[in-house]
Chain A
Amino acid sequence: MIDYTMQPRRIRELYDRQNLLDQSIAHRMMSSEEIAFATSQWRMMWKKFIRNRVAVIGGVVVLLFYLTALFADFLAPYTLQQRMTEYSFMSPQRIHFFLNGRFQPHVYALERSRDPQTLMRVYVPDKEQPIPMRFFVKGEPYKLFGLLPANRRLFGVEEGIVSILGTDGQGRDMFSRIIIGSQISLTIGLVGVILSLVIGALTGVASGYFGGWVDNIVQRLIEIVRSFPPIPLWMALSAALPRHWPPLWTYFAITVILSLIGWTWLARQLRGKVLALREEDFVMAARLAGAGHGWIIVKHLIPATFSHIIVISTLAMPAMILAESALSFLGLGLRPPLTSWGVLLQQAQNIQVLLLYPWLMTPGIFVALSILAFNFLGDGLRDAADPYTV
């Protein structure tokens, strides 16, 4: 218990001494630690994130995936629908890098024959006929980013075929189809998450901030939406999509269907966060200083929940990608000619295909890889999101 009966002069002395001390400490720290004290939340988050190696790797993989999707037409040696009928169900080709001691990536020409016992078509590489791979070759014309007409492709061959992940039954190159299919698979997650973000953030923040009957209605609605089993709900909704709709419409309709359930997770999490923040004294301080609801939400609540929004959306992405793959795999989502990883996996539905042409399952590996990467990234972001808790 402090003695408040001290003479004022004595208190003043103590006070001054403390001030002097503060100043000398402040002076010493000015050089290096001043920077640390003026570090913003985002810089602190970045510092914490960069230390988490798995998360950084996940982030890099995610980035690579999106870059690949962006430049898909350039990276893929063939177009989506280009058929090489003489090479149907061809197994993945090996790429050889050295020819006669010189660096020259090449594949071998293939000779078709049939297995005398199973009558299955087999392709035997002819070691006498190397086909050199050319870079920046002219291929089928395409439009880069859907805008710039171009016809150069990263690699290709002038004759024969180069197919590092094999071909499907119609002789279409799996590698090209997976790369181009990633455009839809990865963006459907992005668009779906953004859509659920908008719905979820609005309802979640409103629900938490205003409370009372608003909260009650939003929460009951979320419970109703969540209590539907998702797959039958998606089935019903996608069955309701008119068959004659153009592909782009179907694409957006599917994202809407996916985010109709996705927003509930975000809304719940944000509500909880806002509920806690609303009781913080600094929100009360703003209110008592005369701030309106808009000011408090925009200046205090949204910035405080922003890191959580990012984390939640990163973690929601895999669910979206998986949902799209599942829907398309079941034939309920996107339909050819739209091509996504789920659509590609549809070919691998029967056991015969799995046994005879296992390379048709490679889109599944890409699904798994992207989801793992997103999860690692999301975990890292979540750990970094609150730099104020050690």
Chain B
Amino acid sequence: MKEALKIRIEKSETKPPVAVFYLQGYLQANTLEQFTQTIDSVLDEGIYHLIFFCNDIAFASSAAFGELLNILDKVEQHDGRLVMCCLSLPVAEVFDLLDFYDIFVVTNTIEEALQKITEKREGSGNQ
């Protein structure tokens, strides 16, 4: 079996910067440390506008969704925005079960996600 979780990161040159995380594979208790460390390393660079591209997430458990709440809390403390983009079936199913649509911004494309971040920046005075 291939690597359980692969994460590719693209960072924009905009001010403030945006990081897009392309998540592929399994998000569960055994891959949580890798996931958390990767996100934290980007937050440590001072990047608080994040997009999670979820189309290739094959499986996600409560461990991942608990961590998502934690990441959302961290970015909001720095007036950032976390956008969930292109939810795969497993992610969408848990979003339904937990009614997460009322606390997370969800989009169908990266362009829409970037637009949501632009709106947030302009709404908070182009920090």
Q: Do A and B bind each other?
A: no
